[in-house]
């Protein structure tokens, strides 16, 4: 986030403190900053993946299949579970990638009635190029942090994730 972005968050907090001192502006600032960082990072990630002709959801399928290891095949259910998606959303993504020649549906060798999704040769090559670009891009986005800062941020984000999960409406106690 640039200095102007942080200044906007500080101004927002000051305005709320002036107008409604009983409102927790500090909590708003945390989530305002998270939102701004997410927006900027998402744009950078989307732009980098677009250079390979894929969007983030398509990349997610390709990367999941590639990281599964040889022979780079998973059942649709395993794929959906790994990406935390519904079967319908997964099927839609698979259809798009199959139409582009990047994945294929094959009979499951363990159960001829079932189907697995696998990377085509072209899909594997694209996945590997895109993963390298994605990794380099994310490292570049983190370049302003020291290794200690990055480890501390990771710990803090894990703690924040737990706090949100535990305290969000509908969270199980």
Q: How confident is the model at residue 165 (pLDDT cuts 50, 70, 90)?
A: very high
pLDDT digits (tens, 9 = 90+) for 47-104: 999 999 999 999 999 999 999 999 999 988 899 899 888 888 888 999 999 999 999 9
pTM higher than 0.85 for the full model? no
Please provide the average confidence, as pLDDT, over all residues in the chain.
Answer: 91
112 exposure class (CB count in 10 Å sphere: 0-12, 13-18, 19+): exposed
Q: Are 18 and 10 in contact (CB under 8 A)?
A: no
What distance lies between CA 135 and its chain's CA centroid?
12
């Amino acid at each position: 986030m640039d200095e102007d972005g942080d200044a906007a968050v500080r101004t927002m907090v000051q305005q709320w403190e002036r107008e409604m001192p009983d409102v927790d502006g500090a909590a708003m600032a945390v989530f305002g900053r998270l939102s701004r960082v997410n927006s900027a990072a998402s744009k950078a990630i989307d732009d980098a993946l677009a250079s390979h002709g894929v969007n983030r959801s398509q990349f997610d399928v390709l990367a999941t299949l590639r990281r599964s290891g040889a022979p780079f095949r998973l059942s649709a259910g395993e794929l959906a579970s790994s990406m935390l998606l519904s079967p319908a959303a997964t099927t839609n993504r698979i259809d798009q990638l199959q139409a582009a020649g990047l994945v294929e549906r094959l009979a499951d060798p363990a159960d001829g009635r079932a189907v697995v999704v696998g990377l085509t040769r072209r899909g594997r090559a694209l996945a590997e190029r895109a993963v390298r670009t994605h990794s380099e891009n994310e490292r570049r986005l983190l370049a302003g942090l020291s290794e200690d800062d990055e480890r501390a941020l990771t710990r803090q984000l894990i703690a924040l994730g737990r706090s949100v999960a535990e305290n969000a409406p509908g969270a199980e106690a």
